[in-house]
């Protein structure tokens, strides 16, 4: 038996840090959505009880350290299932990029195995299990548009952005999320994005207001570490993207563009400066059957 799932990349339309908690993590408030750049997870039943994994990319672990492997293991522990599975990850989302690729692979593995093993779990139940893997995993289980609070695991669904295109550019160097948060000083944040302005803009389906409400408090922190982030932002603006922001802890920079033709022109112009550039549709809603 076999099934397949799409694991879309997430972007942050906003990312705010409210305070540092006694446990060392930050309380966050983020508006997250998805774009049509995805990994593909193929799940095949195998004899025995082992979990096997391989990936098209040498940049991700091919063993139990892979978040998709961890998802399969935790799902088996929670449900008592003792079936074997082969997980194949076709990796398209840049790694260590601020696009939650690993979390989305884990979430897609949970959704796919729920179907393959006929577990009958709801998305809510899968999200709860996902929270044990990582704080972005619950969001990725839904892969919709949501306000994420706490460490990112407390979710409130909101309307998806209006139709538009997103240009993504990933500087060559990856980044450690822990490193970026380690350097963040909440009391020195100069400008907090407004979650309520962003939510209003999404409710009104007003793309200009969405662009005007974008903000990420981690951007100056990552920029101080990686010059390429500000260089790419400038170039994206120059080539005609309307709203340009770093996603998550970076270093990927994305720009919002209303029309496909302009998005593709921007990609061509950026290619000389950056190897990993993409023009993709904004998604924002989870398409339940993931192989269209």
**Contact call for residue 136 and ligand ATP (CB under 6 A):** yes
Q: Within 13 Å, how many C-alpha atoms sit on residue 193's CB side?
A: 26
d(CA 55, CA 256): 30
Residue 97 Rama label (left phi>0; alpha psi -120 to 50; beta): alpha
Q: Closer CB to ligand ATP, residue 60 or residue 210?
A: 60
Candidates 90-98, 187-195, 235-243, 268-276; binding stretch for ligand ATP (CB under 6 A): 90-98
Number of residues engaging ligand ATP in binding (CB under 6 A): 20
Candidates 19-27, 88-96, 116-124, 276-284; binding stretch for ligand ATP (CB under 6 A): 88-96
Work out how close the CB of 204 gets to ligand ATP at its nearest, in angstroms, rounded to a whole number. 28
* C-alpha 249, offset from chain centre: 11
Q: Closer CB to ligand ATP, residue 113 or residue 207?
A: 113
Instruction: Select which of 10, 91, 170, 233 is catalytic.
Output: 10
3-state helix, strand, coil in the chain (%, to 5): 35, 30, 35
148-207: which residues touch ligand ATP (CB under 6 A)?
Answer: 177
Instruction: Select which of 16, 39, 105, 136 is catalytic.
Output: 136
Q: Is residue 109 classed exposed, middle or buried when 0-12, 13-18 and 19+ CB atoms within 10 A define those classes?
A: buried
Active site residue 136: yes
Work out how close the CB of 101 gets to ligand ATP at its nearest, in angstroms, rounded to a whole number. 4
Work out how close the CB of 171 gets to ligand ATP at its nearest, in angstroms, rounded to a whole number. 12
Contact 165, 282 (CB under 8 A): yes
Coil vs helix vs strand at 276: strand
Nearest-Å Rg of the Cα atoms of the chain is 19
Q: Closer CB to ligand ATP, residue 168 or residue 263?
A: 168
Give, for 154, the enclosing helix (H) or strand (E).
strand 154-157
Work out how close the CB of 262 gets to ligand ATP at its nearest, in angstroms, rounded to a whole number. 26
Active site residue 47: no
**Contact call for residue 253 and ligand ATP (CB under 6 A):** no
Owner of token pair 């289980």: 141
**Contact call for residue 51 and ligand ATP (CB under 6 A):** no
Work out how close the CB of 107 gets to ligand ATP at its nearest, in angstroms, rounded to a whole number. 10
Q: Is the dihedral of CA 230, 232, 238, 242 positive or negative?
A: negative
**Contact call for residue 105 and ligand ATP (CB under 6 A):** yes
Work out how close the CB of 68 gets to ligand ATP at its nearest, in angstroms, rounded to a whole number. 5
Angle between helices 123-130 and 67-79 (to 10 degrees): 120
Contact 139, 146 (CB under 8 A): yes
**Contact call for residue 68 and ligand ATP (CB under 6 A):** yes
Contact 267, 255 (CB under 8 A): no
Q: Closer CB to ligand ATP, residue 67 or residue 168?
A: 67
Give catalytic residue positions.
Answer: 10, 136
Q: Using CB under 6 A, list all residues that contact ligand ATP.
A: 60-61, 66-68, 89, 95-103, 105, 136, 177, 248-249
């Amino acid at each position: 038996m076999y099934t397949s799932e799409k694991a879309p990349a997430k972007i942050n339309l906003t990312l705010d840090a409210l305070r540092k908690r006694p446990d060392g993590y930050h309380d966050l408030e983020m508006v997250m959505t998805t774009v049509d750049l995805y990994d593909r997870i193929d799940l095949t039943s195998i004899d025995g009880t082992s979990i096997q994994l391989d990936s098209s990319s040498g940049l991700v672990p091919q063993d139990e350290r892979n978040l998709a492997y961890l998802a399969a293991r935790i799902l088996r522990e929670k449900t008592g299932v003792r079936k074997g599975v082969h997980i194949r990850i076709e990796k398209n989302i840049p790694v260590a990029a601020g696009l939650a690729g690993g979390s989305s692979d884990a979430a897609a593995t949970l959704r796919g195995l729920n179907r393959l093993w006929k577990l009958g779990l709801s998305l809510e139940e899968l999200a709860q299990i996902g929270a044990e893997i990582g704080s972005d995993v619950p969001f990725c289980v839904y892969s919709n548009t949501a306000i994420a609070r706490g460490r990112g695991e407390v979710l409130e669904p909101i309307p998806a952005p209006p139709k538009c295109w997103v240009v993504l550019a990933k500087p060559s160097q990856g980044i450690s999320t822990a490193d970026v948060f380690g350097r963040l000083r909440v009391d020195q944040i100069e400008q907090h994005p407004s979650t309520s302005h962003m939510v209003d803009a999404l409710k009104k389906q007003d793309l200009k207001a969405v662009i005007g409400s974008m903000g990420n408090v981690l951007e100056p922190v990552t920029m101080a570490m990686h010059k390429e982030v500000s260089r790419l932002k400038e170039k994206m603006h120059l080539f005609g993207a309307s709203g340009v922001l770093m996603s998550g802890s970076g270093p990927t920079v994305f720009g919002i563009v209303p029309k496909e033709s302009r998005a593709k022109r921007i990609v061509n112009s950026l290619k000389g400066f950056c190897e990993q550039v993409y023009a993709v549709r904004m998604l924002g809603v989870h398409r339940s059957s993931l192989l269209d």
